[in-house]
Structure 1
């Protein structure tokens, strides 16, 4: 089975990624290329045309999420804000948006991330993304200790979705306000105690 008539290469690639995500949720990371191809409506060769192997396909699921979050952070930048901590504040707004708007993270997204985290190449991709954020945020003009605290708080809120916990919107708005205030302090270490 070749490419589906009328479907662009990008559409076919997206269909393969969607099929892979669905199957990882249904049967785990041991889903086969044949299963993914059948779900996407392409041949095994069609899958391998877009991705070198199954690991590359699954890692692409991870890197796509990372790039989507990066785009959300960029969209959350306040164009009028030129003060230190600008990128960190955008990270807070983008990272907590699902919680402050009441949407939350879906249990399905959390489960997919958890399953993909068992793949060593996905772990490496996550480590590279964390290093990239560390580098980008290091140039944001805040003390490293403040940035680390802020990122850990935002990421911890997202991690709660792995356990099906959806904190109240009011609490997440309060947390966002506190983190934005911390990200506005220059040269001040976070309070202790």
Structure 2
């Protein structure tokens, strides 16, 4: 006698795996088509869950976007920490890692998740608040090594190139070529 098929009701619950799949699917949609393409229906369909299943994990599209962005900030944190670990010079270490992170996926252009979410960062107060809290925490943590006006200028220049990329798409890369990364790293003592 064969085992009965598991229905959704009897299927073992794996909330963390479902949540992770929803975040990954939302990020894929954003990278492919922009943050505007993220809808409850589109993410639920791609993840293979019902809209109700998605809403169990994220109460709204805004909550889903915030979670995707927070996940992206966690990835950025890990990338910066890895970069800092391999940098032997303490003074300016965070700034150099920040510059490297800002330049790391420029060549992906519109396929970059950062590019896809950048418009949402500007227009969504909750995402701006997440970004500001993240940056404030990192700057506070690295105050002893990265709290000089010159290093702030380097980080602002990296932010400006990121903004140019967002606004000008390919024009930003032509106007501020990838070699600017080396220039900024040199200014940061790297």
C-alpha distance after superposition, 1:62-116 (max 9, x if no partner): 11111211211111125461431122222222322334xxx34335632333135
Aligned counterpart, 2:61: 54
C-alpha distance after superposition, 1:29-64 (max 9, x if no partner): 783x34432332112332133224332211011111
Aligned counterpart, 1:77: 84
Aligned counterpart, 1:151: 155
Aligned counterpart, 2:118: 113
**2:102 equivalent to 1:95:** yes
Aligned counterpart, 1:167: 173
Change (3 A) 1:134 1:105: farther
Aligned counterparts of 2:97 and 2:173: Cα–Cα separation in 1: 21
Give the superposition deviation at 1:132: 1.9
Aligned counterparts of 2:76 and 2:35: Cα–Cα separation in 1: 26
Match of 1:28 among 16, 28, 36: 36
Q: Which moved more, 1:18-27 or 1:175-184?
A: 18-27
C-alpha distance after superposition, 1:128-158 (max 9, x if no partner): 1222233234232551x11211111112222
Aligned counterpart, 2:187: 182
Q: Which moved more, 1:11-20 or 1:122-131?
A: 11-20
Partner SS for 1:172? coil
Change (3 A) 1:141 1:148: closer
TM-score normalised by the chain length of structure 2: 0.73
Q: Kindly tell me the number of residue pairs found equivalent between the two proteins.
A: 178
RMSD: 3.4
